[in-house]
Amino acid sequence: MSQETRALVPQPAAPAPTVESEEGELPADRFLDRERSWLAFNDRVLDLAEDPGTPLLERTNFLSIFASNLDEFFMVRVAGLKRRIATGVATRSLTGQAPRDVLESIWASAREQMGRHAACYQTSVAPQLAGEGIHLLRWPDLTEEEQTRLFSLFRKKIFPVLTPLAVDPVHPFPYISGLSLNLAVVVRNPASGHEHFARVKVPPLLDRFLEASPQRFVPVEDVIAAHLEELFRGMEVLAHHVFRVTRNEDLEVEEDDAENLIQALEKELLRRRFGPPVRLEVEESIDPQVLDLLVRELKISREEVFSVPGPLDLTGLRSISSLDRPDLKYPKFVAGTHRDLAEVESASAADVFAALRQRDVLLHHPYDSFSTSVQAFLEQAAADPDVLAIKQTLYRTSGDSPIVDALIDAAESGKQVLVLVELKARFDEHANIRWARKLEQAGCHVVYGLLGLKTHCKLSLVVRQEGDELRRYSHVGTGNYHPKTARLYEDLGLLTADAQVGADLSDLFNRLSGYSRRDNYRRLLVAPRSLRDGLVSRIRREIEHHRAGRPAWVRFKVNSIVDEAVIDALYRASQAGVPVDVWVRGICSLRPGVPGLSENIRVRSVLGRFLEHSRVYAFAGGGENEVWLGSADLMHRNLDRRIETLVRVTDPGHRSSLTRLLATGMSDESESWHLDRDGGWTRYAFDEDGGPLRNVQESLIEGRRKRRAAGA
Instruction: Summarize the chain as % helix, strand, coil (round to 5).
Output: 40, 25, 35
Nearest in space to 538 (alpha carbons), one of 633, 624, 655:
624
Q: What is the pLDDT of residues 326-342, one digit of tens each?
A: 999 999 999 999 999 98
C-alpha–C-alpha distance, residues 503 and 154, integer Å: 61
Q: What is the pLDDT of residues 362-419, one digit of tens each?
A: 999 999 999 999 999 999 999 999 999 999 998 876 667 899 999 999 999 999 999 9
Residues flagged as binding site: 69, 396, 426, 489, 585, 613
Residues flagged as binding site for Mg(2+): 396, 426
Report whether 255 contacts 5 (CB < 8 A). no
Could you list the active site residues?
Answer: 456
Residue 11 confidence (pLDDT) above 70: no
CB neighbour list of residue 289: distance below 8 Å, 6 or more residues apart = none
DSSP string covering 152-163, please? HHIIIIIGGG--
Amino acid 349: pLDDT: 67
Which CATH superfamily, name and number, covers 352-517? Endonuclease Chain A (3.30.870.10)
Amino acid 21: pLDDT: 52
Neighbour tally for 262: CB within 10 Å: 17
107-116 as b/e, with b when 16 or more CB fall inside 10 Å?
bebbeebbee
Report whether 633 contacts 704 (CB < 8 A). no
Amino acid 16: pLDDT: 41
Amino acid 448: pLDDT: 80
The tally of CA atoms less than 13 A away on the side-chain side of residue 36 is: 21
Residue 254 confidence (pLDDT) above 70: no
Report whether 491 contacts 41 (CB < 8 A). no
Amino acid 573: pLDDT: 98
Are both 38-131 and 525-711 of the same fold?
no
Q: What is the pLDDT of residues 531-581, one digit of tens each?
A: 999 999 999 999 999 999 999 999 999 999 999 999 999 999 999 999 999
Q: Is 394 exposed, middle or buried (0-12, 13-18, 19+ CB in 10 A)?
A: buried
Residue 442 confidence (pLDDT) above 70: yes
Q: Taking each helix axis from N to C terminus, what angle separates 652-666 and 696-711, rounded to the nearest 10 degrees?
A: 140
Least confident residue range of 9-18, 294-303, 311-320, 613-622: 9-18
DSSP string covering 636-672, please? HHHHHSEEEEEEEE--HHHHHHHHHHHHHHH-TTB-E
Which CATH superfamily, name and number, covers 525-711? Endonuclease Chain A (3.30.870.10)
Amino acid 427: pLDDT: 53
DSSP string covering 40-99, please? HHHHHHHHHHH-TTS-HHHHHHHHHHHHHHHHHIIIIIIHHHHHHHHHT-----TT---H
Amino acid 1: pLDDT: 38
Q: What is the mean pLDDT of residues 5-17?
A: 38
Sign of the torsion formed by the C-alpha atoms of 134, 136, 137 and 143: positive
CA angle 99, 605, 29 (to 5 degrees): 35
Neighbour tally for 440: CB within 10 Å: 14
Architecture of domain 134-316: 2-Layer Sandwich (3.30)
Q: What is the mean pLDDT of residues 440-446?
A: 87
C-alpha–C-alpha distance, residues 454 and 638, integer Å: 9
Label residue 13 by pLDDT band (50, 70, 90): very low
Report whether 666 contacts 602 (CB < 8 A). yes
Report whether 524 contacts 504 (CB < 8 A). yes
Least confident residue range of 274-278, 394-398, 627-631, 643-647: 394-398
Residue 626 confidence (pLDDT) above 70: yes
Residues flagged as binding site for ATP: 69, 489, 585, 613
C-alpha–C-alpha distance, residues 215 and 212, integer Å: 8
Report whether 429 contacts 265 (CB < 8 A). yes
C-alpha–C-alpha distance, residues 357 and 572, integer Å: 42
Label residue 18 by pLDDT band (50, 70, 90): low
Amino acid 453: pLDDT: 85
Task: Confirm or reject CATH 1.20.58.310 for domain 38-131, answering yes or no.
Answer: yes
Neighbour tally for 494: CB within 10 Å: 24
pTM: 0.91
Residue 6 confidence (pLDDT) above 50: no
Amino acid 398: pLDDT: 60
Residue 10 confidence (pLDDT) above 80: no
C-alpha–C-alpha distance, residues 598 and 579, integer Å: 9
Residue ranges per structural domain of the chain = 38-131, 134-316, 352-517, 525-711
